[in-house]
Structure 1
Amino acid sequence: MATGSEWWRSAVIYQIYPRSFSDALNDDGIGDLPGITTRLPALKELGVDAVWLSPFFSSPQKDAGYDVSDYCDVDPLFGTLDDFDIFERKAHELGLKVIVDLVPNHTSNQHHWFQAALASPVGSVERGHYMFRDGKGAGGDLPPNNWESVFGGPAWTRVIEPDGTPGQWYLHLFDSSQPDLDWTDPWVREQFRGILRFWLDRGVDGFRVDVAHGLMKAPGLPDYTPPADGGSMGGAGMPLDLIVDENDPVTAPYWAQDSVHEIYRDWHHVLEEYPGDRVLCAEAWVEPLRKLARWVRPDEMQQAFNFSYLETPWNGPAIRQVVDTSIDAFASVGAPSTWVLSNHDVVRHATRLSLTAENPQGHGLGARSVGIPDRAFGLRRARAATALMLALPGSAYVYQGEELGLPEVIELPDHSRQDPTWRRTAGERYGRDGCRVPIPWESAAPSYGFSTGANSWLPQPADWAEYARDRQRDVPGSTLEMYKLALRLRREHDLGFGTLEWLEGYPDDVVAFRSNGVSVIANAGTAPVALPAGIRLLESESFDGDQLPADVTVWLRP
Structure 2
Amino acid sequence: MPADDWWKNGIVYQVYPRSFQDSDGDGIGDLPGICRRLDYLVDLGVDAVWISPIYPSPMADFGYDISDYCAIDPRFGSLADFDVLMEQAKARGLKLILDFVPNHSSDQHPWFIESRRSRADPKRDWYLWRDPAPDGSPPNNWLSNFGGPAWTLDVPTGQYYCHSFLPQQPDLNWRNPQVRAAMYDAMRFWLRRGVDGFRIDVLYHLIKDDQFRDNPANPHFVAGGDAAHRLLPLYTTDRPEVQEIAREMRRVADAFSDAASSRVLIGELYLPLARLMAYYGSDGQGLLQGVQLPFNFQLIGADWQAAALDRIVRAYEAALPPGAAPNWVIGNHDKPRIASRVGALHARLAAMLLLSLRGTPTLYYGDELGMTDALIPPEEVQDPFEKNVPGKGLGRDPQRTPMQWCGDERHAGFTQGTPWLRLGDEWATCNVEVERNAPSSMLNLYRRLIALRRREPALHEGRYEALEAGESVLAYARVAGERRLLVALNFSDSAVVLPPGLVADGARVLVSTHDAMPDAAQPPRTLRPGEGVVIA
Q: TM-score, length-normalised on structure 2? A: 0.91
Q: Aligned AA for 2:399?
A: C
Q: How far apart are 1:229 and its partner, in Å?
A: 5.2
Q: What is the SS of the residue equivalent to 1:86?
A: helix
Gaps of 5+ in 1: 243-249, 354-377
Structure 1 residue 107 corresponds to structure 2 residue 96 = no
Q: What is the SS of the residue equivalent to 1:57?
A: coil
Which of 175, 186, 199 is residue 177 of structure 2 equivalent to?
Answer: 186
* Residues 61-97 of structure 1 deviation map (CA, whole Å, 9 limit, x = unaligned): 1101000000100000000001011111111111111
Q: How far apart are 1:418 and its partner, in Å?
A: 1.1
Cα RMSD for the two superposed structures: 2.1
User: What is the number of residues matched between the two proteins?
Assistant: 507
Q: Is the 8 A contact 1:392 1:498 kept in 2?
A: no
Q: Hey, what's the Cα distance between the residues in 2 that align with 1:413 and 1:118? A: 37
Q: How far apart are 1:2 and its partner, in Å?
A: 4.7
Structure 1 residue 272 corresponds to structure 2 residue 272 = no
> Which segment is superposed worse, 469-478 or 200-209?
469-478
Which of 127, 146, 159 is residue 130 of structure 1 equivalent to?
Answer: 127
Q: Hey, what's the Cα distance between the residues in 1 that align with 2:91 and 2:303? A: 39
Name the structure 1 match of 2:314.
Answer: 324
Q: Hey, what's the Cα distance between the residues in 2 that align with 1:85 and 1:142? A: 48
Which of 153, 158, 161 is residue 156 of structure 2 equivalent to?
Answer: 161
Change (3 A) 1:213 1:333: farther
Name the structure 2 match of 1:67.
Answer: 65
Structure 1 residue 202 corresponds to structure 2 residue 167 = no
Q: Aligned AA for 1:150?
A: N
Q: How far apart are 1:500 and its partner, in Å?
A: 1.3
Name the structure 2 match of 1:144.
Answer: 139
Q: How far apart are 1:290 and its partner, in Å?
A: 2.5
Q: How far apart are 1:208 and its partner, in Å?
A: 0.2
Q: Hey, what's the Cα distance between the residues in 1 that align with 2:373 and 2:65? A: 24
Name the structure 2 match of 1:296.
Answer: 280
Q: Is the 8 A contact 1:502 1:513 kept in 2?
A: yes
Q: Hey, what's the Cα distance between the residues in 2 that align with 1:253 and 1:481? A: 47
Q: Hey, what's the Cα distance between the residues in 2 that align with 1:500 and 1:193? A: 37
Q: Aligned AA for 1:290?
A: A
Q: Hey, what's the Cα distance between the residues in 2 that align with 1:474 and 1:518? A: 29
Alignment map for 1:217-296 (pairs within 5 Å): 217-224=208-215, 225-226=217-218, 227-228=220-221, 252-274=234-256, 275=258, 276-287=261-272, 289-296=273-280
Name the structure 1 match of 2:84.
Answer: 86
Which of 528, 531, 536 is residue 495 of structure 2 equivalent to?
Answer: 528
Q: Hey, what's the Cα distance between the residues in 1 that align with 2:81 and 2:433? A: 26
Structure 1 residue 519 corresponds to structure 2 residue 490 = no
Name the structure 1 match of 2:326.
Answer: 337
* Residues 125-148 of structure 1 deviation map (CA, whole Å, 9 limit, x = unaligned): 31100011111133xx20111122
Q: Hey, what's the Cα distance between the residues in 2 that align with 1:97 and 1:123? A: 44
Which of 404, 427, 436 is residue 440 of structure 1 equivalent to?
Answer: 404
Q: How far apart are 1:257 and its partner, in Å?
A: 0.9
Runs of 4+ residues over 4 Å off in structure 1: 229-234, 543-546
Q: How far apart are 1:335 and its partner, in Å?
A: 1.4
Q: Is the 8 A contact 1:103 1:210 kept in 2?
A: yes
Structure 1 residue 423 corresponds to structure 2 residue 387 = yes
Q: Is the 8 A contact 2:465 2:478 kept in 1?
A: yes
Name the structure 2 match of 1:403.
Answer: 368
Q: Hey, what's the Cα distance between the residues in 2 that align with 1:306 and 1:296? A: 12
Q: Is the 8 A contact 2:314 2:466 kept in 1?
A: no
Structure 1 residue 552 corresponds to structure 2 residue 531 = yes
Q: Hey, what's the Cα distance between the residues in 2 that align with 1:23 and 1:216? A: 37
Q: How far apart are 1:124 and its partner, in Å?
A: 3.8
Q: Hey, what's the Cα distance between the residues in 2 that align with 1:49 and 1:337? A: 17
Q: Is the 8 A contact 2:511 2:535 kept in 1?
A: yes
Q: Hey, what's the Cα distance between the residues in 2 that align with 1:7 and 1:415? A: 44
Q: Hey, what's the Cα distance between the residues in 1 that align with 2:183 and 2:150? A: 24
Name the structure 1 match of 2:284.
Answer: none
Q: TM-score, length-normalised on structure 1? A: 0.87
Q: Is the 8 A contact 1:443 1:468 kept in 2?
A: yes
> Which segment is superposed worse, 56-65 or 425-434?
425-434
Q: Is the 8 A contact 1:385 1:553 kept in 2?
A: no
Q: Hey, what's the Cα distance between the residues in 2 that align with 1:93 and 1:422? A: 40
Q: Is the 8 A contact 2:127 2:173 kept in 1?
A: yes
Q: How far apart are 1:493 and its partner, in Å?
A: 0.8
* Residues 101-157 of structure 1 deviation map (CA, whole Å, 9 limit, x = unaligned): 0000000000000000111x225431100011111133xx20111122111122111
User: Aligned residues: percent identity?
Assistant: 39
Gaps of 5+ in 2: 282-287
Name the structure 2 match of 1:363.
Answer: none
Q: Hey, what's the Cα distance between the residues in 2 that align with 1:152 and 1:421? A: 8
Q: Aligned AA for 1:382?
A: A
Q: Aligned AA for 1:135?
A: P
Alignment map for 1:387-398 (pairs within 5 Å): 387-398=352-363
Q: What is the SS of the residue equivalent to 1:485?
A: helix
Q: Aligned AA for 1:335?
A: A
Q: Is the 8 A contact 1:442 1:449 kept in 2?
A: yes
Change (3 A) 1:199 1:232: farther
Q: Is the 8 A contact 2:352 2:449 kept in 1?
A: yes
* Residues 179-220 of structure 1 deviation map (CA, whole Å, 9 limit, x = unaligned): 000100011000011001100000000000000111101222
